[in-house]
């Protein structure tokens, strides 16, 4: 579902968000600083469930891309769906870390792979799934 109740978001600013997701996921997987998953959980919560325009990191990245002339506006719906998934994965990672469990490695690895793909080639798998869901749902 396209979101017309929110202003469009900058897809290149979201590529910077993918870089943050990649770095935090790598830190979670390969260092003892797993508490940094809080960045993913809180950022995903703000961008996915409230508004991307309320998130400090998105606002900073959007300003940087606009100033550099890289701004490319897209509808916010698919990006917000991706952020909801990041919020859930980040929440699982934080909970896993707090409990001393290893299960948080699974969402961290998934985020590492998909954020790397988004960062390098600009393909957002969650955005694609979001579009497919609404295409299939409309056909039913």
Phi, psi angle pair for 73, to nearest 5°: -80, 135
Q: Which residues contact 131 (CB under 8 A, 6 or more apart)?
A: 78
pLDDT in tens, 63-75: 999 999 999 999 9
Q: Where do the structural domains in the chain lie, given as residue ranges?
A: 9-139
Q: Is residue 137 over pLDDT 60?
A: yes
pLDDT in tens, 32-66: 999 999 999 999 999 999 999 999 999 999 999 99
């Amino acid at each position: 579902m396209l979101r017309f109740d929110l202003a469009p978001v900058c897809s290149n600013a979201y590529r910077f968000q993918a870089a943050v997701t990649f770095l935090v996921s790598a830190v979670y997987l390969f260092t003892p600083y797993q508490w940094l998953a809080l960045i993913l959980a809180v950022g995903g919560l703000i961008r996915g469930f409230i508004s991307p325009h309320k998130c400090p990191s998105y606002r900073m990245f959007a300003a940087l891309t606009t100033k550099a002339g890289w701004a490319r506006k897209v509808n916010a719906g698919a990006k917000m769906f991706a952020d909801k998934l990041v919020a859930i994965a980040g929440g699982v990672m934080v909970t896993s870390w707090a409990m001393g469990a290893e299960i948080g490695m699974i969402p961290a690895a998934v985020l590492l792979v998909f954020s790397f793909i988004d960062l390098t080639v600009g393909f957002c798998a969650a955005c694609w799934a979001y579009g497919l869901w609404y295409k299939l749902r409309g056909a039913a």
